[in-house]
Amino acid sequence: MKKTNSPRSSGSRETFLIFMVVVCGIMATLSVNLLNQPASAPGEAKVVDSTNQDQKDTVPEKAASVALLDVPLATGTEPLDKLFVQSGCAVCHTIPGIAPAQGREGPPLVLGTNGPLRLADPQYQGTATTVREYIQESILNPGVYVVPGYSDRVMPRWYGKRLNALALDRIAAYLEDVKE
């Protein structure tokens, strides 16, 4: 019994060991593949993606526009008229009290007078509930409400990227009190 069993068991042990070696080999191969894949695939994907983006949009449009559009226009600590000039508002808007701001592309910025009218306009679809909020919304998301008589898409859409919180806050704080 022992003699017949032990060779058998050692035989089956051998088979088992071989089986285990094979399984380990498969597991090792799998795990290497699994380890390699996430390590290499996203890396490769990233490389491929970025080169694709480079080729498709980053280089021709984005790289150029990133350089131009992502640079803040102002620190926000400038004197007010400088802030309005540097931000470009003065080119398009007339702003009482800001001498260089004589633009005519957009409405005169007299939000102390017009802000409440905008909020009360049945056409107004935005989320602002105060004039201050309306001004911020108008700067960050000009398409939400287009002032009647003026065209949409004239006011730049990128102020959210190019004005910091301080600049935005000082602009809105000034404009909300300007009356006609």
User: Site residues (CB under 6 A) for ligand HEC?
Assistant: 87-89, 91-93, 105-107, 109, 111, 114, 118, 135, 138-139, 142, 146-147, 150, 152, 154-156, 159, 171
When the beta carbons of 19 and 158 are compared against ligand HEC, the nearer one is 158
CA distance 91 to 85: 7
* Closest approach of ligand HEC to the CB of residue 69, in Å: 13
Beta-bridge partners for 102: 94
CA distance 116 to 180: 13
Sign of CA dihedral 64, 67, 73, 76: positive
- Identify which of residues 19 and 150 has a Cβ nearer to ligand HEC in the complex: 150
Strand partners, 94: 102
Q: Which is nearer to ligand HEC, 54 or 152 (CB)?
A: 152
Residue 134: CB minimum distance to ligand HEC, A: 7
Q: What are phi and psi of 143, to 5 degrees?
A: -75, -15
